[in-house]
Amino acid sequence: MTSELARHDAVGLAELVRTGELSPVELIDDTIARIETLNPQVNAIIHPAFEKARAAAAGDLPDGPFRGVPMLMKDLWPAEKGEPFHQGVQGLKNTGYIADVDANIVTAYKRAGFVMSGRTNTPEMGLSATTEPVAYGPTRNPWDLDRGAGGSSGGAAAAVAAGMLPAANASDGGGSIRIPAAMCGLVGLKPSRGRISMGPQRDEWGNSVQHVVSHTVRDSAAILDATAAPFPGDGVIAPFPDRPFLDFLSDDPRPLRIGVLDRSIRDGIPIDPDVAAAVRDVADQLEQLGHEIVDDSPAALDDQALIASYGAQWSAAVAASLDTFGEWIGRELTADDVEPMTWALAERGRRLGAVEAARAADQAMIFRHRMADWWASSADLLLAPTCLRPAPLIGESSGTAENPFENIHVTLAYATLTAPFNTTGQPAISLPLAQSSAGLPIGIQFVGAYGREDLLLQLAGQLERAMPWADQRSPLHP
């Protein structure tokens, strides 16, 4: 049964449970068997919760759309009451910190019938484009075990790409859903700001959003339908379409005007030729499907001063987070509790003046408005690479105590074309539409106007039919 069920997506597994062909307990036991076989090879799951999952599956599960389907939570910001909550931070691991509250997204998953089954690896505080925390060790890519699985949702992506389960929770503050999806050959949708509640410990107005990585577009759409509901106190609520997101997959979109960006936007960070060629190939396919392709992209993406404003906000957020962690464990964190790059960013954030921080926020606002103008006047969607190169070798992006930012250019090769859309809050999706000459997955990204996940999912469904990727599974996948 293990190999057979590994090929089902979450919607398919839910249907098997709903029709009585499979019980929740059978499904969880089968998933656990796959995890126990595959996880030692990739180090995706760092906090298994198997007995808790078995008990939940045997109990009175909510009659939601995903009743009995397993779910893994990323060990970053979506806390689970009673479960470890370490965020890749050595200091939190050493104290054995346990969460005392469920994040709203966990509540939403439980209401939908998902069975919480464990927590996945993440780089420290989600700060890297590859998942190699000192606290828990590297997560390896199921397509090539010598390479990283992406970050910061690398554990989630590796678990799905290896065939442990069909979809897993992921979050995206600078590309952290889309980057690992691209590296591991998965679908990764970053929803609009305010589409999914970030409370009670995070604010919707920030750069981070929650969703999943998955094999199929219908899982991404159906799970979005099940979780995109506002909670009391949410600071931003994205506008909803007039029908469920899943319904948009059945019809091809109208002919769209799609701008193409097949180059790097950052000096000194080149694009891999295989990636640039993949973008052009997808553009050709879109033309054959009846869409208008234009060689155009937002001019604001080439304004490096505006793009750089993200760095000040990033550093300040790291400093504030370390202060919060200190409150949780009852003492201030020191340099011994975190990795060198994390400490260096926090120190930079603490030196940031109030006027400089306000100026960075203003720059982000200007950037957001300039970007929105392009979607309002020039095109329906932007087509671009998700990452500028395929997955890196393990250790390739690591810094040193003497130079914490020694290999930051590696991370920039992955986040350069993802992070801008966290600043703007726009939805973006990475689709597994290509492979490199070495057989590594290449993700192709589409970006929509704010609130237009419906259009992204509709086009993704069309491409899934025209360029099917269902059989392109990693060598580890059963």
Per-residue pLDDT of the chain (478 residues; tens, 9 = 90+): 567 899 999 999 999 999 999 999 999 999 999 999 999 999 999 999 999 999 999 999 999 999 999 999 999 989 999 999 999 999 999 999 999 999 999 999 999 999 999 999 999 999 999 999 999 999 999 999 999 999 999 999 999 999 999 999 999 999 999 999 999 999 999 999 999 999 999 999 999 999 999 999 999 999 999 999 999 999 999 999 999 999 999 999 999 999 999 999 998 999 999 999 999 999 999 999 999 999 999 999 998 777 777 788 889 999 999 999 999 999 999 999 999 999 999 999 999 888 888 888 899 999 999 999 999 999 999 999 999 999 999 999 888 888 988 888 888 999 999 999 999 999 999 999 999 999 999 999 999 999 999 999 999 999 999 999 988 999 999 9
Active-site residue 110, yes or no? no
For residue 445, list its beta bridge partners.
384, 430
Q: Is the dihedral of CA 299, 302, 306, 307 positive or negative?
A: positive
Predicted model pTM: 0.97
Measured at the alpha carbon of residue 395, what is the angle toward residues 394 and 396, in degrees to the nearest 5?
95
The helix (H) or strand (E) run that includes residue 310 is helix 304-329
Q: How far apart are CA 196 and CA 230, in angstroms?
A: 7
DSSP class of 391: P
The helix (H) or strand (E) run that includes residue 448 is strand 441-448
Q: How far apart are CA 437 and CA 434, in angstroms?
A: 10
Q: Domains of the chain: which residue ranges? A: 2-466
For residue 115, list its beta bridge partners.
70
Q: According to the model, what pLDDT value does residue 209 have?
A: 98
The CATH class given to the 2-466 domain equals alpha beta
Q: List helix spans (H) across 398-475.
A: 408-415, 420-424, 453-466
Whole-angstrom CA distances from 317 to 16, 210, 215, 312, 372 are 43, 18, 32, 9, 25
Q: How far apart are CA 322 and CA 24, in angstroms?
A: 39
For residue 172, list its beta bridge partners.
209
- Residue 129 in contact with residue 185, Cβ under 8 Å? no
List the catalytic residue out of 152, 220, 430, 474: 152
Q: According to the model, what pLDDT value does residue 2 have?
A: 66
The helix (H) or strand (E) run that includes residue 358 is helix 354-377
DSSP class of 400: -
List the catalytic residue out of 176, 197, 309, 315: 176
Cβ neighbourhood burial of 25 (10 Å; 0-12, 13-18, 19+):
middle
Active-site residue 74, yes or no? yes
List the catalytic residue out of 74, 93, 110, 190: 74
Both tokens of residue 373?
Answer: 């103008």
- Residue 177 in contact with residue 412, Cβ under 8 Å? no
Q: How far apart are CA 199 and CA 310, in angstroms?
A: 22
Active-site residue 176, yes or no? yes
Give CB contacts under 8 A, 24+ apart, made by 202-205.
202/77, 202/103, 203/235, 204/234, 204/235, 204/236, 204/237, 205/235, 205/236
Q: Regarding beta strands 167-172 and 140-141, do their DSSP bridges make them parallel or antiparallel, or are they unpaired?
A: unpaired
